[in-house]
Amino acid sequence: MVFLSILLIKSNLLRLKGGLIGGLFALILISGIFASSTIALGSLVYAYRLKQKSNSVDNQVQDLETVNV
Taking the CA of residue 12 as centre, how many other CA atoms within 13 Å lie in the half-sphere pointing to its CB? 6
From CA 53, how far away is CA 47, in angstroms rounded?
10
Give the H or E element holding residue 24.
Answer: helix 2-58
Residue 17, pLDDT score: 82
Residue 32, pLDDT score: 94
Per-residue pLDDT of the chain (69 residues; tens, 9 = 90+): 788 888 888 888 778 788 888 888 999 999 999 999 999 999 999 999 998 887 765 555 556 677 777
Residue 66, pLDDT score: 74
